[in-house]
Amino acid sequence: GNSVTQMEGPVTLSEEAFLTINCTYTATGYPSLFWYVQYPGEGLQLLLKATKADDKGSNKGFEATYRKETTSFHLEKGSVQVSDSAVYFCALNAGNNRKLIWGLGTSLAVNP
């Protein structure tokens, strides 16, 4: 079946550090891949997405590349800010919206 595995948190970084949050998936067919972010006290919101192999999603300085050969969609940012402190969720859509499959979330804390 379809599944998403992302690195466990919490992740604690200093401001301007490089961030990687790993995400790997198992899916039949050709899923779309997503990163959602949940800031403190707010609802989940889409951060970036990629719908086919080798696509790179990017937003707010974050990037993730859809790697079919390694079944991965790792989230990266070159220089994190305190305002990036949030919980990040990797998810896949294997063909219909109701079955978005979610990772467990990775909590990120960025210290000044």
Partner 1 sequence: GAGVSQSPSNKVTEKGKDVELRCDPISGHTALYWYRQSLGQGLEFLIYFQGNSAPDKSGLPSDRFSAERTGGSVSTLTIQRTQQEDSAVYLCASSPQGTSGSRTGELFFGEGSRLTVL
* Interface positions with partner 1 (CB under 8 A): 32, 34, 41-46, 49, 51, 89, 91, 93, 95-100, 102-105
DSSP 43: -
Contact between residue 6 and residue 87 where contact means Cβ atoms under 8 Å apart: no
Chain centre to alpha carbon of residue 88: 6
Nearer to partner 1, 1 or 43 (CB): 43
Cα separation, 91 vs 73, whole angstroms: 10
Smallest distance, partner 1 to C-beta of residue 17, A? 26
Q: CB-wise, 82 or 104, nearer to partner 1?
A: 104
Q: How far is the CB of 34 from partner 1 (least distance, A)?
A: 6
